């Protein structure tokens, strides 16, 4: 039985990867990613013109030259789903903070299932630590309110923050730009 499984596995592996020429995969020139001069080479018959490769169907090469009504309706139903995550309220876009004081942003999202809120700074996801906290409150069956706080603030806290709400139907984002100011008395 083990021999049969091994032979079947080898046959499947050979069928899946037989169109790549193993001899062409080697160390290449600088910047080539180590896959020879032209990357991973395909055997003849596997390229775009000869067939054997993937065929992309779009409205230009489809008979009739249009999207089908079923595809359009399914796409609209998915991308314009009324249950998709959407941000209903968010803090003001631009704000200043005083060094050493608290900085807070708010974000309220709605969707079914209830969205998950993620906070990002300059495109990188933020995680809680002693000076950064996130407080979340569920409201009803389809809303969530999130409050992000940094206390005390430093110069490194200035930047572009994002609140991202997502569920299985949609992703929505709001951005906040912040910069520090010196407290002068």
**Averages of pLDDT over each 10 residues, the chain, 185 residues:** 54 47 38 38 40 47 51 62 93 91 95 96 92 94 96 95 95 95 74
CATH numbers and ranges of domains, the chain: 2-79 (no CATH), 86-181 (2.60.40.10)
* Per-residue model confidence (pLDDT) at position 152: 94
Q: Are 84 and 165 in contact (CB under 8 A)?
A: no
Q: Torsion over CA of 113, 118, 124 and 130, rounded to 10 degrees?
A: -150
**According to DSSP H, which parts of the chain are helical?**
2-17, 69-79
Instruction: Report pLDDT for 183.
Output: 72
pLDDT at 185: 62
pTM for this model (two decimals): 0.58
């Amino acid at each position: 039985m083990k021999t049969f499984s091994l032979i079947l596995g080898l046959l499947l592996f050979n069928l899946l990867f037989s169109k790549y020429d193993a001899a062409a995969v080697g160390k290449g020139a600088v910047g080539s990613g180590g896959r020879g001069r032209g990357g991973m080479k395909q055997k003849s018959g596997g390229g775009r013109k000869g067939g054997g490769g993937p065929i992309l169907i779009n409205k230009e090469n489809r008979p009739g030259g249009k999207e089908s009504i079923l595809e359009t309706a399914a796409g609209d139903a998915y991308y314009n789903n009324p249950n998709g995550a959407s941000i209903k309220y968010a803090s003001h876009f631009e704000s200043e903070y005083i060094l050493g004081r608290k900085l807070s942003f708010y974000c309220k999202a709605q969707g079914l299932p209830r969205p998950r809120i993620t906070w990002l700074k300059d495109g990188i996801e933020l995680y809680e630590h002693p000076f950064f906290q996130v407080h979340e409150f569920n409201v009803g069956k389809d809303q969530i309110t999130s409050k992000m706080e940094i206390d005390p603030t430093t110069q490194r806290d200035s930047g572009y923050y994002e609140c991202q709400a997502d569920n299985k139907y949609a992703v929505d984002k709001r951005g906040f730009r912040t910069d520090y100011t010196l407290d002068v008395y």
